[in-house]
Copies of this chain bind each other. A is one copy, B any other.
Amino acid sequence: MKGIWTYHELLPEVENRARMSLGEGHTPLVKSRFIGPALGLDNLYFKLENLNPTGSYKDRFAAMALSRFVQQGVKVCLATSSGNTGAALAAYCAAAQLPCIMAIVDGAPEGKLQQMRVYGAATLMVKDFGRSPAVTDQVMTMLGRLAEEQQTSVQISAYCFCPEAMEGVQTIAYEIAEAFDEGAQVFVPAGGGGLTLAVARGFERWKQQHETARHHVVHCVQPEGNDTIVSALASGQMHPTAVPHSETAISGLQVPNVLDGLEVIAACRRSGGTGFGVQDEHVWECQDWLAKKEGIFCEPAGAVALAGVRRALAEGSLAPEQPIVCLITGHGFKDMQRASVMASTSGNAYLANEAGLKNYIIQLITKKNER
């Protein structure tokens, strides 16, 4: 059994018969060919979490969550995602033959829900859920009670809700630790902070198990429009900041609630890491760079870590000799609206005949050579 179970000794106990895998984990670690050298970084790497089975690192969470359900004989999965967690849970529920029922934030984009329903999940949108705090509370309370009645638990990808399933995500750190004996500086995007905390805890757990292991630094990156963690972290505070209204357009990182924020600040600090805020425009620029300069197509949130590296460089707070790893968290196909913006139209033409094609190609080649 592969997937996250390669590291079963470092994970919550699950019997062999209950361990589920759809091939999550063991994602490629690709060395930058263009962006790194362009930034003066000889050792810039991308950890391609977008190549997990449903297109994001959340598959590591879902693999652990559903394995525990299978072990415990749970009969139904209740959850509240409107994004990548939902798609991951839907897929692993399909494989486990469990019904997957998701309470969806009012106004969530149909495209994201479609991926969940492809796997057979039910996506139930509730008026004002995720918009009105009162309705959100009511729904969460009702779901909690219903989950208890049904002998299950509500799945949300944060330590404050599902600590054991989150340990599945810690395998990202184990894979990076195995690849970089010499230690690395890892840049991680944060919404609620669960992923960053998982990576930091993963390195700590790894070090407990491998005494000679070198130290890894974990940096947290957030869009400035939803700065619940990074300013507090960078300025030496202990507590995260509540944001009344998330103002970033980066989908998946708009969580204004302080979920794992407190622990994230402490864990990043223990690792020697800090926080970096980035502008949405720089994130989109990095997303476009990754596709056109490295051949890596990720969703906007997947480019946030790279934007953080640029920010760290601008601030002069990056040691260029140590390996630097950016977590690329989700696949570009998750957000086809952005993809249509990125798809350059300059090399897009309908030509009347073979002669027209020839002229156009020669034009393109000449233009390229002139650059």
Contact = CB atoms under 8 A, between A and B. Distances in A.
A92 interface: yes
Contacts of A97: 33-34, 293
Contact of A126 (B54, B348, B356): B356
A49 B23 CA distance: 11
A138 B348 contact: no
A142 B358 CA distance: 7
A95 B351 contact: no
Interface stretch (A111-119, A192-200, A214-222, A307-315): A111-119
Interface string A165-177: 0000000000000
Where chain A touches its partner, the secondary structure class is: mixed
A11 interface: no
Interface in A68-104: 75-76, 78, 90-97, 99, 101, 103
A210 interface: no
Interface range, A side: 35 or more
B354 A142 contact: yes
A294 interface: yes
Nearest to A22: B295
A249 B339 CA distance: 26
Contacts of A319: none
